[in-house]
Amino acid sequence: MKFEFIQIDKYSPVPLYEQLKGCLINAIRSGTLIPGQKLPTEDELCRKFGISRPVVRQAYGDLNKLGMLVRKRGSGSFVRSITDRGIYLMQLVSYREELAMIGMKPGTDLKKNEIISYHAPVYEKLRLDPKQHCLHLERMRYADKRPFTFIENFVPMDLFPGIEAYDYGTDSLYRIMRDVYGIYPAKAVRSIRAEIIDPTQARLFHIEKDSPVHMLESIAYDQYERPIDYSIETYPGNTHRFDFVVYRD
C-alpha cells in the first residue's frame, strides 16, 4: 500500500497519534480509503514513519470508537463498510464527505430557497426574536442518482446576512458558513422519531403514501454556542437504519 495520504511531522506539537488519526480520517472522508479497504498494519506504519506501536494503536483505537474502522481478529483493521446511518449522527460532516465515505456520488435538487418571518417552533429552537428573519431551504438529495434524503434547513439571517444569495443546489451550506462568514458548526443536538411520510415527499422518493419514515431533527451550534441551523431530514424506513456503537467509560 502507498502512504501518500499520511504525513507525520515529528517536530509538530500535535501528538503523533493525533496526526495519524487526522490523516486517516481525511483519507476516509475524501474517498482515498474506501469502505472495506484494509488499513496498513501496525508494523507497516512503524517501519514507514519510525513511530511506535502505541501511537498506531491509539490512532486506530480512536477511529474504532468513532465507528470508522472495524477490527477483524487475525485479519487486521478495515475501513468500515457503512450500511447504516448511525455513524453520521455522531459526526458533523458535509453531505459530500458523508457519501465519499461510503463510495457514492452525491446530487442535490434545490426545491425551495426563501426568507421566512416568525414561525414559533423554529424560532424557539434558534433563539430568534419574532422580528428577525430566517432562511428556509428545502433540498432533495441523491446518492448515485437515487433518492436518498429530503432535508429542510432553517438558518438565522442576522448571523449570515446575504446567505440566501448562494446556489444550494450545487454548494454546501456549511462550507459557505465557514468560508464566507467564519462561522462553523461545532456541535449538534439530534433526535430521531418515526412518522408517516408526507404525500409530496412520497412522490419524490417514489414510495407509497403512508410509508414509514425516520425523521431526524438536528440543531447545530457554532464555536460560540449559538444555534446556527435547525434541520429536519427524512429517510425512508425501508432503506435506512440507525445503528450505534456504545462504549462504557
Q: Tell me the C-alpha distance between 131 and 236, whole Å.
A: 36
CB 77 within 8 A of CB 70: yes
**Secondary-structure breakdown of the chain: helix, strand, coil percentages, each rounded to the nearest 5:** 30, 30, 40
Look at residue 84 in the predicted model and tell me its pLDDT: 45
CB 222 within 8 A of CB 185: yes
Task: Let me know if domain 16-79 sits in CATH 1.10.150.110.
Answer: no
pLDDT tens series, the chain, 249 aa: 678 889 999 999 999 999 999 999 888 777 788 878 899 999 999 999 999 999 999 999 888 877 678 888 888 888 875 544 555 555 666 777 777 666 678 899 999 999 999 999 999 999 999 999 999 999 999 988 888 899 999 999 999 999 999 999 999 999 999 999 999 999 999 898 999 999 999 999 888 888 899 999 999 999 999 999 999 999 887 666 666 666 665
Look at residue 95 in the predicted model and tell me its pLDDT: 76
Look at residue 91 in the predicted model and tell me its pLDDT: 63
Look at residue 245 in the predicted model and tell me its pLDDT: 60
Residue type, 200: T
Look at residue 83 in the predicted model and tell me its pLDDT: 47
Q: Do 16-79 and 86-236 have matching folds? A: no
Q: 188, 192, 180: which is closest to 228 by C-alpha?
A: 188
DSSP SS3 for 229: strand
Class (C level, CATH) for 86-236: alpha beta
The residue with cell 465515505 is 101
Cite the beta strand spans of 10-105 per DSSP E: 69-72, 76-79
Domain limits, the chain = 16-79, 86-236
Look at residue 146 in the predicted model and tell me its pLDDT: 84
